[in-house]
A and B are shown apart, each in its own frame.
Chain A
Amino acid sequence: EPEVTQTPSHQVTQMGQEVILRCVPISNHLYFYWYRQILGQKVEFLVSFYNNEISEKSEIFDDQFSVERPDGSNFTLKIRSTKLEDSAMYFCASSPVMYGYTFGSGTRLTVV
């Protein structure tokens, strides 16, 4: 069964450092998303991406965040200068249409 692959599974970074979280969506999917889940809290929408541009973003997705689809297969989330409160599980998802997401297994980001 096709799956969304995320790497790394766990990343530890120092506060103020840049991190790039990587995702390989399912190949024929058109919509791509990043969500995050702070430990013990709900899953929160960050951004959606369609046709090589951001289609929606939440108030969490500020100037510190950016997304790219650099080569037609990878979908990355960059956090420019990490803060302690960025520690969370980050989930990538893709879908062929506007719903019916397939989620990756997540990247646990720990900012120290």
Chain B
Amino acid sequence: TQLLEQSPQFLSIQEGENLTVYCNSSSVFSSLQWYRQEPGEGPVLLVTVVTGGEVKKLKRLTFQFGDARKDSSLHITAAQPGDTGLYLCAGVGTGNQFYFGTGTSLTVIP
């Protein structure tokens, strides 16, 4: 099993603040995805990163894949209450199955 550890596990910030969520593993992944999940719903894909060192931006969200393809980060600028949710990273490991990270629960306080 290829483990993905996310940190922090819980994050509560004020609206307008910036934050970074980390996703780390000792394993190499051929690609990595970030999802956001709301209570009672399935995860919704935000982005896929494939190349080591790749940076992708999605409005106020910036995603980076580590050079060695073992880690990734999600940076949110000027967080808004609508960003509240569970953020999951997931990496494609051996056999093309996805391994989900432990999740980061973000609460943005108005």
Q: Do A and B bind? A: yes
Q: Please list the residues of chain A having a beta carbon within 8 angstroms of any beta carbon in chain B.
A: 4, 33, 35, 42-45, 48, 55-56, 58, 89, 91, 93, 98-106, 108
Q: Which residues of the other chain, A, contact B95 by a CB distance below 8 angstroms?
A: 55-56
Q: Which residues of the other chain, A, contact B102 by a CB distance below 8 angstroms?
A: 42
Interface residues of B in 37-89 (CB under 8 A from A): 40-45, 48, 88
Distance of B48 from chain A, by nearest CB (Å) = 6
Tally of chain B residues near chain A (CB < 8 A):
22
Check if B33 is an interface residue, CB within 8 A of chain A.
yes
Distance of B50 from chain A, by nearest CB (Å) = 8
Q: Which residues of the other chain, B, contact A44 by a CB distance below 8 angstroms?
A: 100
Main secondary structure of the interface of A (DSSP, over half): strand
Most B CB contacts (10 A, CB to CB) among A42, A48, A55, A56 go to A42
Q: A35-B100, A42-B103 are in contact. List 8 more A-B contacts (CB 8 A).
A: A55-B96, A56-B96, A56-B97, A58-B97, A91-B42, A99-B33, A101-B33, A108-B40
A103–B96 touching, CB < 8 Å: no
Q: Which residues of the other chain, A, contact B44 by a CB distance below 8 angstroms?
A: 103
Distance between Cα atoms of A85 and B101 in the complex (Å): 21
Partner of A42, one of B31, B42, B96, B101: B101
B42–A98 touching, CB < 8 Å: no
Distance between Cα atoms of A25 and B100 in the complex (Å): 20
Q: Which residues of the other chain, B, contact A43 by a CB distance below 8 angstroms?
A: 43, 88, 90, 100, 103
